[in-house]
Structure 1
Amino acid sequence: MSEVEVRHVDGVSIIAINRPQARNAVNFAVAQQIAAAIDELESRDDLRIGVLTGNGGSFCAGMDLKAFLRGEVGRVEGRGFAGLTESLPTKPLIAAVEGHVLAGGFELALACDLIVASSASSFGLPEVKRALTPSAGGLLRLPRQLPYRIAMQLVLTGDPMTARELAAFGLLNKVVEPGTALDEALQLAKAIARNGPLAIKACKKVLMAAPDWSQAEMFPKQREITGPVFASEDAKEGARAFAEKRAPAWNNR
C-alpha cells in the first residue's frame, strides 16, 4: 500500500497522505512520495493545481516520532519536511484538512497557498512541549500569516486552536462541515484550474515575493514576472475567447 496516494481530476492533482493508522504522521517514505507528486504536478502542463490532504479523517500529526527514534527523518534533502516545506511548487497548492493539523502537519498547511478546513479540525504547534521547535516553517511562516501575538501564543504555549478561531484571523479560506473539506477544496481548485496557467503561476510568484520588495523595486520586479504573460499566446486566446463568448483553450504558451 502506497503511503501517499495521488490521483488527477480535471487538472487537479490530489495528493493524500495515506497513513491513517498513524494519523498521517510523516516518515521518510511519505516525504519522498510527496516530493515525487510535487515533481509530477510541476512537470505536467495538464495539471494546474494541487490539493494536499490526508486519508482517514486526519490531515497530518507531524513528524513520525517512532520513526524519529529509529533514526529516520521525514524530510528530503534540499526540499525540507515532507519533501515540501523548503521547496514550494510554482503552481498553487491547497490544503484540505480534517481532524488533527499538528506540528509538522500545521507547517505543511502553512506552506500551502490556500486552506480549506473542517470545523472540527484542530491546529497546533506543540513542539515546545517536547523541548523541540517548529522549524519546518512554523516559526517563519506563522508571523507572516497571523497577527504577531497570536503566532506567539500558538508557538510558546504549544496549545491548539480551532479552525473557527484561526479563520477569524484570516488564516483559512473556508471552514466547512466535517467530512467535506476535500470536496470543498476540489471545487476551489477546479475554479482556479479553469484560468490561464501562465497567469496563475505569475500571480502566485508575485504574491509570494512582493512583501520583501521595497517601494522602489515593486513595479519593476512585478513587470519582470508579469510582462511575459501579457505577451503570451494564452493572453491572446483569453481575449479571443471573451470576444467570441466561448471557453478559452489554454496551451500554456
Structure 2
Amino acid sequence: MSEDAVLVNVEDGVMVVTINRPKAKNSVNLAVAKGIAAAMDQLDSDDSIRAAILTGADNTFCAGMDLKAFVTGELPMIKGRGFAGLVEKLPQKPLIGAVEGFALAGGCELALSCDVLVVGDNVKFGIPEVKRGLAAAAGGLMRLPKQIPPRIAMEMALTGDFISAQRAYELGLINRIVPAGSALEGALEMAKTIAANGPMAVLASKRVVVESGNWSEEEMWKNQAAIVDPVFSSEDAIEGSKAFAEKRAPNWKGK
C-alpha cells in the first residue's frame, strides 16, 4: 500500500483522514481503501480520539472509484468493510465529512456514510454511475433515499445528474455550507465541539440515532434504555453535573 494514499493526523482528540490522490481527483483505489480501513480501526480503538474528519486533498473530496484501476481488475474493497474500507462498517465514533469540489459516485457514497457534513459552497454531489453502465452499489441507492426525499433520490439515481451544495442543504443532505476552501476548518470547529462533550454520552447518542430507525414502537424505549442507562450511572455523568455547578470545564474519564 502506498503510504501516501491516505494521510492521518491526530491532534487534540480529533483525527483527520485525508484521501491523498489529488492527481486522480482523490479517486479510491485499493491503497485508499486499506488506508481508510486502518484509520477507522484506530479511531474506534484509541480512547484518546473522540471524533474523526474525512476529507480530500487539494480542495476535492472524492471523484469515486478509480476506474482505471477497476478495468485492470482491482477492486477498492475491504472484506467486512466494503468500498473504501468504510461504507459497510461505519465507526462507532462520530465521523464528519469535510467536502470540497466534487463528491461523486463513490465519493458521494463516502459522504453519505458520514454522520454530519460540512461542505464548501462550490460542491457538486451526484451518483452518476448509470452514465457509465454501473450502479451506485456502495450505499448510494440505499442511503440516499433515507437522507433526502425518496423521489429526489430516485431522480438522482436514474439520471445520474448532479446537485449543488445549496440544493443539498435545502434537501437536508448536509449540515453546514461554508465558503469554498474552508470545509476542513468548519469541520474541525464542529469536531472540537463534539470532542469536548462526554465521550460515553456521544457514543450512546450516535448509536441511538443510528439504530432507532429500525425499532418498533413497542421496543424503542427498552432498546434506548439499554444503551443510555450506563451513561446516566457513569462517573462522567456526575462529573458533568459537578462541572456545570462549579462553572468549570469537565474532566471526562470515559467511564
Q: Same fold (TM over 0.5)?
A: yes
Q: Where does residue 145 of structure 2 map in the other structure?
A: 143
Q: Are 2:109 and 1:124 equivalent residues in the alignment? A: no
Q: Where does residue 59 of structure 2 map in the other structure?
A: 57
How far residue 244 of structure 1 moved from its aligned partner, in angstroms, is: 1.5
Query: What RMSD over aligned residues (CA atoms) do the two structures have, in Å?
Result: 0.7
1:179 to 164, 178, 181: 181
Within 2, Cα distance between the matches of 1:28 and 1:137?
18
Within 2, Cα distance between the matches of 1:68 and 1:129?
16
Q: Where does residue 107 of structure 1 map in the other structure?
A: 109
Q: Are 2:96 and 1:94 equivalent residues in the alignment? A: yes
Deviations 1:34-69 (A, max 9, x none): 000111111111100000000011100010001111
2:244 to 239, 242, 245: 242
Within 1, Cα distance between the matches of 2:133 and 2:19?
26
Within 2, Cα distance between the matches of 1:139 and 1:205?
22
Q: Secondary structure at the match of 1:117?
A: strand
Q: Secondary structure at the match of 2:85?
A: coil
Q: Secondary structure at the match of 2:136?
A: coil
Deviations 1:88-147 (A, max 9, x none): 000000000000100000000000000011110100100011111101100110010000
Within 2, Cα distance between the matches of 1:27 and 1:233?
44
Within 2, Cα distance between the matches of 1:151 and 1:243?
47
Alignment length, in residue pairs? 253
Within 2, Cα distance between the matches of 1:151 and 1:124?
10
Q: Where does residue 198 of structure 1 map in the other structure?
A: 200
Within 2, Cα distance between the matches of 1:106 and 1:219?
33
How far residue 9 of structure 1 moved from its aligned partner, in angstroms, is: 2.1
Q: Are 2:33 and 1:9 equivalent residues in the alignment? A: no
Within 2, Cα distance between the matches of 1:76 and 1:124?
23
Within 2, Cα distance between the matches of 1:125 and 1:8?
31
1:217 to 219, 231, 246: 219
Within 2, Cα distance between the matches of 1:247 and 1:230?
19
- Uncovered stretches (5+) of structure 1, i.e. residues with no partner: none
Within 1, Cα distance between the matches of 2:46 and 2:118?
24
How far residue 211 of structure 1 moved from its aligned partner, in angstroms, is: 1.1
How far residue 75 of structure 1 moved from its aligned partner, in angstroms, is: 1.1
How far residue 10 of structure 1 moved from its aligned partner, in angstroms, is: 1.6
Q: Where does residue 161 of structure 2 map in the other structure?
A: 159
Within 2, Cα distance between the matches of 1:148 and 1:87?
23
Q: Secondary structure at the match of 1:235?
A: helix
Q: Secondary structure at the match of 1:195?
A: coil
State the percentage of identical aligned residues. Answer: 55
Q: Secondary structure at the match of 1:15?
A: strand
Q: Secondary structure at the match of 1:248?
A: coil
Counterpart amino acid of 1:181? A
Within 2, Cα distance between the matches of 1:225 and 1:39?
22
- Uncovered stretches (5+) of structure 2, i.e. residues with no partner: none
Q: Are 2:56 and 1:83 equivalent residues in the alignment? A: no
Regions of 4+ moved over 4 Å: none
Counterpart amino acid of 1:137? G
Q: Secondary structure at the match of 1:106?
A: helix
Q: Secondary structure at the match of 1:96?
A: strand
Counterpart amino acid of 1:40? Q
